Amino acid sequence: MANIDVYKSAGVDVEAGYESVKLIKNDVKRTFNEYVLSQLGGFGGLIELPQGYKQPCLVSGTDGVGTKLMLAFMMDQHDTIGIDVVAMCVNDILCQGAKPLFFLDYIACGKNYPKKIAAIVHGVSEGCVQGEMALIGGETAEMPDMYDENDYDLAGFAVGVVEKEKIITGQTITENDVLIGLPSSGVHSNGFSLVRKVIFKDAKLDANTYVESLGGTIGETLLTPTKIYVKAIQPILDAFTIKGMSHVTGGGFYENIPRMIPDGLCAQVTTENIKSLPIFDFIAKTGKIEKEAMYSTFNMGIGLVMAVDPKDADAIIALLQENGEAPVILGSITKGENKINLC
């Protein structure tokens, strides 16, 4: 006990760490599936590969949630930001055709407040349930000399599996393929440095201000968790061939859609087909931001884009609609060197 007291005098509360682990156990356990071989508290998380793969390939992705965390601090709301960190990772690996397997999280904080850590992990666990993956490990690091007492950072790491011959690379995309978009839930987890500048620094608006067009406060709207597309896309992967897929994150349309487009081809996107969410209109109006800059920064209401064969497009859209989605035909693939053209 004396050693614990000495460490506590340096700003690290080991007992708070123990309490955090107790509080998160039930949330973590609800993410476990038949492939998990380990229990919470081990030195490493264990999981076995699903059966039936001839040449299984592991797909991995890691990410954080950027300065959206500062909205969580501002609102003192920490139970949804974990969904964001899972979404940022799992949506990325989904674009390669991966079936999600497991997730690891990392929380670095200035002071370990067990209830706050439990709220964060509750969100991570909820994200893992939505992403159909197990939370099999993580780390909470209390670092008082690195972070202010009430601050923390959050990052994650996702791993999935895909049959080698079914890896989605975009290289089979051809002229006349159809672009289908799936709606986002809001700003997701990119562009928040600009959001904070135009809304809170320049316009000096309060996060608790209710805005009628948003149907809620500014802060609540901005904290809306990133949509996770696993349950929508997995049935499509099982039934059809998706030639290319892009998760629309930082850099918006102009950076992310070209990542799946082969040289010599261009994604022709008709922006009038996109139902703009009120939050993007609010950001553009408040910051006097031009359309091109908005599409260069934000998802603008479309969080995931896929390229499919024209003969499959109607059936894919119908299946997505059956699963409660609202897919949008964004345009098609043409010959061209720019890789993307918004019209």
Same domain, 159 and 194: no
User: pLDDT at position 277, please?
Assistant: 94
Structure tokens at 325: 């989605």
Q: To the nearest whole number, what is the mean pLDDT of the chain?
A: 94
User: Torsion angle of alpha carbons 271, 315, 58, 49, nearest 10°?
Assistant: 150
User: pLDDT at position 20, please?
Assistant: 78
Last residue of a domain, one of 143, 166, 189: 166
Residue 199 has pLDDT above 60, yes or no: yes
User: pLDDT at position 9, please?
Assistant: 61
Could you give the angle at the alpha carbon of 91 between the alpha carbons of 86 and 97, nearest 5°? 130
Residue 42 has pLDDT above 90, yes or no: no
How far separated are the first and last CA of the chain, in Å rounded? 67
User: pLDDT at position 159, please?
Assistant: 98
Where is 74: in which H helix or E strand? Answer: helix 69-75
Q: Which range is least confidently modeled, 24-33, 206-215, 247-256?
A: 24-33
User: Within a 10 A sphere around the Cβ of 229, how many other Cβ atoms?
Assistant: 24
Residue 187 has pLDDT above 60, yes or no: yes
Whether 171 maps to a domain, the answer reads no
Residue 202 has pLDDT above 70, yes or no: yes
Whether 318 maps to a domain, the answer reads yes
Q: Over the stretch 288-322, which tens digit does the pLDDT of each residue have?
A: 999 999 999 999 999 999 999 999 999 999 999 99
Q: What is the pTM of this model?
A: 0.94
Could you give the angle at the alpha carbon of 39 between the alpha carbons of 36 and 43, nearest 5°? 105
Last residue of a domain, one of 166, 201, 223: 166
Residue 6 has pLDDT above 80, yes or no: no
Q: Over the stretch 327-337, which tens digit does the pLDDT of each residue have?
A: 999 999 999 99
Same domain, 26 and 86: yes
Q: Over the stretch 132-155, which tens digit does the pLDDT of each residue have?
A: 999 999 999 999 989 999 999 999
Q: What residues have CB less than 8 Å from 236, skipping those under 6 apart?
A: 242, 306, 316, 319, 320
Same domain, 197 and 324: yes
Last residue of a domain, one of 166, 188, 223: 166
Same domain, 107 and 206: no
Residue 1 has pLDDT above 70, yes or no: no
Q: Over the stretch 58-109, which tens digit does the pLDDT of each residue have?
A: 999 999 999 999 999 999 999 999 999 999 999 999 999 999 999 999 999 9
Q: Is residue 22 very low, low, confident or very high in pLDDT (cuts 50, 70, 90)?
A: confident
Q: How many CA atoms lie within 13 A of 307 on its CB side?
A: 30
Buried b (16+ CB within 10 A) or exposed e, 188-225: bbbbbebbbebbbeeeebebeeebeebeebbbbbbbbb
Whether 210 maps to a domain, the answer reads yes
Same domain, 79 and 198: no
User: pLDDT at position 10, please?
Assistant: 60
Number of domains observed in the structure of the chain: 2
Q: Over the stretch 268-286, which tens digit does the pLDDT of each residue have?
A: 999 999 988 999 999 999 9
Residue 11 has pLDDT above 80, yes or no: no
Whether 183 maps to a domain, the answer reads yes
User: Which CATH number is 79's domain given?
Assistant: 3.30.1330.10
Q: Which range is least confidently modeled, 138-147, 153-162, 174-183?
A: 138-147
Q: What residues have CB less than 8 Å from 98, skipping those under 6 apart?
A: 59, 160, 161, 162
Q: What percent of the chain has pLDDT over 70?
A: 95
User: pLDDT at position 102, please?
Assistant: 98
Domain carrying residue 224: 178-342
Q: Is residue 4 very low, low, confident or very high in pLDDT (cuts 50, 70, 90)?
A: low
